[in-house]
Structure 1
Amino acid sequence: MKIQNLPNEFEMARPVLQTIESAGFEAYFVGGSVRDTILGLPIHDVDIAASAYPAEIKELFKRTVDTGIEHGTVMVLDHGNGYEVTTFRTESGYQDYRRPDQVTFIRSLDEDLKRRDFTINALAMREDGEVIDLFNGLTDLKRRLIRAVGDANVRFNEDALRMMRAVRFASKLDFSIDPDTMSAITTHSHLLAKIAVERIYTEFVKMMMGSKPRLGLQDMCNTKMIDYVPEFKNYLPGIKKIIALPEFRLKNEFQVWGLISFSFGLNHKQISELLKRWKAANQTIEATQKIVTALRELVAHGLNSMTLFNTGQSLLGDTMGVARALNISVDETKVMQRYDQLPIKNVHELAINGGDLIKAGVLKPGPELGRILKQLQSVVINGELNNDQPTLLEHARVILSHERKGEI
């Protein structure tokens, strides 16, 4: 097979391959960019594999960066772009079920492609667009099939994360997994417990953002991988709820965890505990909590002004995305219009701050400042008072006066 019209990303990188080849070495485009070009999908990183050793690559180009030289990878900087060039290699001794204990540089493309995970990712392409296919990857693309290169049991024993990659690619591409490959995942699913949670997290979120996330979750259940990721085996009814939903698409990790946490019926504390087990960032935990709070209000009685304010415009958009996935009926235009009509959109828009309260002699520095400002913020957001400094100063005095008299 020869691709006649190469995407611009390849055209820009062709001089790198030509330079390597003109020095007497072999060089090919490899990996996901080749696969996605054949499928007509957008491509991202353009990766290059070559028979030249790292030191030889560095001699051929003026500007290089040692991004992973111990594994044979050198970044070539060319006309403002960076291209990772990796020497053909073999790998052995995966004692941690993830990283090879030994990497050996070789000159053979065939041997290099044998170590790759799936046939659809073991395609190589010359700089003129000719595709090299040693494992019937092109046939598997036509059949929409995820199939391991060689013995699937060996591939997953080498790198257990490949099992998550299998379900991720199936979800992303709407492919099915080859029966032998699926059987090997089931056999080795327990090895997923040996993989760093951060790596599983990345593959899982990508899977949930694919075209068929329900399929990915079902595959995880069928292969028992669900038992070896943090906490999920304790929430199987929630997993089944998601699998039973109509088809949906999620745009980012906030939406992914919002959908999961809502479906699992988690409160704020439980969301924090779950996502900390998954090594999620604090920003993701806070965003998920806000999304779930907003979703619960939507279902119960609609969003109030304070929740609109606390959620914010961006996360309200994510809340609407999760609501669509959950098949929750909501007038999204009306929700966003109500947000736009809020008197203030953030704390900085409040017409008064702690310094103003101190300067006016209402309060002295201390924890009371934050508490009073919260109350002033609330009455403005709820439309009970105008957002102007004299009005808010007077209201602060009233609050304090009532508190001192024991009326609040």
Structure 2
Amino acid sequence: MNEEVRIKLDKNFQDALPVLDIFEKNGFEAYFVGGSVRDALLHKPINDIDIATSAFPEEVKSIFKKTIDVGIQHGTVVVLFQNEPYEVTTFRTESGYQDYRRPDQVTFVRSLEEDLKRRDFTINAFAMDQKGIIKDFFQGLQDLEKKIIRAVGDPYERFHEDALRIMRAIRFQSQLNFDIEEQTFQAVVESASLLSKIAVERIHIEFIKMMLGSAMSKALSNFIEAELYRYCPGLAQSEDKLRKLAGFPLPIKSEVQAWTLLGYYLELTGAELVQLMKKWKSSNEISRQSKKTLQALYDRIDQNEWKAWNLYRSGQQAVIDTEYLVSGLQVSYDLKLARQLYSNLPIKSKDDILINGHDLIKMSKRQPGRWIGELLEDIEEKILLSELENNFDVLKEYSCHYIDQIDK
């Protein structure tokens, strides 16, 4: 293990210190582990804090008054302390990964080093005690300093234990802008087919995190080189198009932007993008917004400017996303102008129209029918084209004339 390294504990760790103290007072070891320790070493914001302990699950439950069994068969218990939940996992070893994702057998142990041996990468295999002293058994600190992603132990074993680690290696590269160590990357290449064993929902999460990382281009290039795309829905024949996507020069800021760009580079229609996203198990809302933004992007590039109808149909967020994306596609852009044009629209949705179907029935004394929708669509278009003022009296007069023409 490296010489002692100590860091200052931020508030998140300090708030959780009493939990570690309680374990210690009861004769057990307990440490902060995983991504939170890595992020603290990198001076990044700390999110979820995980705790590992030498106490077995039933011992954890006997020490704390309030606990929740979330994965007790694998050694994980949520401890509720001062109204905060802390995920606590017993030191363990694992064996028999028949589904390439979860262990068939978990054995609880009292050794921290034995527990950390089963972690994926050295930069995720740290533990930290109450004093902020880092426990590093696998030269993770050196790899962190050199900006390297290296598997703990044999990378082939790690990837066969949990094939999702193949995608996690690429995702961490994107998020951290690190390089993947040569032997680890070779194992990624040679183990790529194992991704076919993993649920698409899990791959989806890692893929989007990769797309949103600061080093997306570097990571996506390795994703392509390792041929991981062959095991992702709808991408098996898309190597050349993905390479073009890897050249996109701006950071991608949202999941909708990521899917929109993927649809654009794959040359999909909005409907085809929705079908692709369905295979990826995307949410209906993200799919709907991505389809809308992709159509807005095509319209914006085709016309090289915003038309009132396109602004209205797209909606404010799609307009903002589109204007950002075209700035990376070597198309002239002006986000301030786009925002102003959208702001100046006389209506932003059908709900803004100052006459409705009930009004039309009342004034015409006609039976409800398709004519109502057709008339409202006509009014909607004319308001957007500034051919009609969005004023009730004006719209009433126009509607009466329209209805007279129908009745002739």
Tell me the TM-score normalised to structure 2 length: 0.95
Judge conservation of contact 1:255–1:321 (CA < 8 Å) in 2: no
| 1:251 corresponding residue in structure 2 | 253
Q: How far is the alpha carbon of 1:138 from its aligned partner?
A: 0.5
| 1:297 corresponding residue in structure 2 | 299
For the residues of structure 1 that align with 2:366 and 2:131, how far apart are their CA atoms?
A: 74
| 1:261 corresponding residue in structure 2 | 263
| 1:141 corresponding residue in structure 2 | 144
| 1:275 corresponding residue in structure 2 | 277
| 1:107 corresponding residue in structure 2 | 110
What's the RMSD between the two structures over aligned residues? 1.6
The yes-or-no answer on 1:334 pairing with 2:337 is yes
Q: How far is the alpha carbon of 1:6 from its aligned partner?
A: 1.1
Aligned length: 404
Name stretches of at least 5 consecutive residues in structure 1 with no aligned partner.
none
SS in 1 for 2:135: strand
Q: How far is the alpha carbon of 1:400 from its aligned partner?
A: 4.0
Amino acid at match of 2:289: A
42, 47, 50: which one aligns with 2:50: 47
**Judging changes above 3 Å, is the alpha-carbon distance between structure 1 residues 151 and 404 closer, same or farther for their aligned structure 2 residues?**
farther
Q: How far is the alpha carbon of 1:128 from its aligned partner?
A: 1.1
Comparing 267-276 and 120-129, the one that deviates more: 267-276
Amino acid at match of 1:286: R
1:44-193 matches, within 5 Å, as 44-193=47-196
SS in 2 for 1:85: strand
Q: How far is the alpha carbon of 1:151 from its aligned partner?
A: 0.5
**Judging changes above 3 Å, is the alpha-carbon distance between structure 1 residues 89 and 375 closer, same or farther for their aligned structure 2 residues?**
farther
| 1:200 corresponding residue in structure 2 | 203
The yes-or-no answer on 1:372 pairing with 2:375 is yes
| 2:40 corresponding residue in structure 1 | 37
1:214-253 matches, within 5 Å, as 214-246=217-249, 248-253=250-255
**Judging changes above 3 Å, is the alpha-carbon distance between structure 1 residues 291 and 130 closer, same or farther for their aligned structure 2 residues?**
same
Comparing 394-403 and 333-342, the one that deviates more: 394-403
**Judging changes above 3 Å, is the alpha-carbon distance between structure 1 residues 235 and 363 closer, same or farther for their aligned structure 2 residues?**
farther
The yes-or-no answer on 1:320 pairing with 2:323 is yes
Amino acid at match of 2:375: I
Judge conservation of contact 1:320–1:332 (CA < 8 Å) in 2: yes
Judge conservation of contact 1:171–1:212 (CA < 8 Å) in 2: yes
Comparing 359-368 and 82-91, the one that deviates more: 359-368
**Judging changes above 3 Å, is the alpha-carbon distance between structure 1 residues 356 and 181 closer, same or farther for their aligned structure 2 residues?**
same
For the residues of structure 2 that align with 1:105 and 1:361, how far apart are their CA atoms?
A: 78
SS in 1 for 2:165: helix
**Judging changes above 3 Å, is the alpha-carbon distance between structure 1 residues 4 and 279 closer, same or farther for their aligned structure 2 residues?**
closer
For the residues of structure 2 that align with 1:174 and 1:139, how far apart are their CA atoms?
A: 16
| 1:360 corresponding residue in structure 2 | 363
Amino acid at match of 1:82: P
**Judging changes above 3 Å, is the alpha-carbon distance between structure 1 residues 360 and 41 closer, same or farther for their aligned structure 2 residues?**
same
The Cα offsets for residues 230-289 of structure 1, whole Å up to 9 and x where unpaired, read as: 11122223212112333x211210010011111111112211121111111111111111
For the residues of structure 2 that align with 1:119 and 1:4, how far apart are their CA atoms?
A: 18
Judge conservation of contact 1:250–1:321 (CA < 8 Å) in 2: no
Judge conservation of contact 1:362–1:397 (CA < 8 Å) in 2: no
**Judging changes above 3 Å, is the alpha-carbon distance between structure 1 residues 275 and 52 closer, same or farther for their aligned structure 2 residues?**
same
Name stretches of at least 5 consecutive residues in structure 2 with no aligned partner.
none
SS in 2 for 1:29: strand
For the residues of structure 2 that align with 1:109 and 1:356, how far apart are their CA atoms?
A: 73
**Judging changes above 3 Å, is the alpha-carbon distance between structure 1 residues 94 and 235 closer, same or farther for their aligned structure 2 residues?**
same
For the residues of structure 1 that align with 2:369 and 2:91, how far apart are their CA atoms?
A: 64
Q: How far is the alpha carbon of 1:24 from its aligned partner?
A: 0.5
Q: How far is the alpha carbon of 1:363 from its aligned partner?
A: 4.5
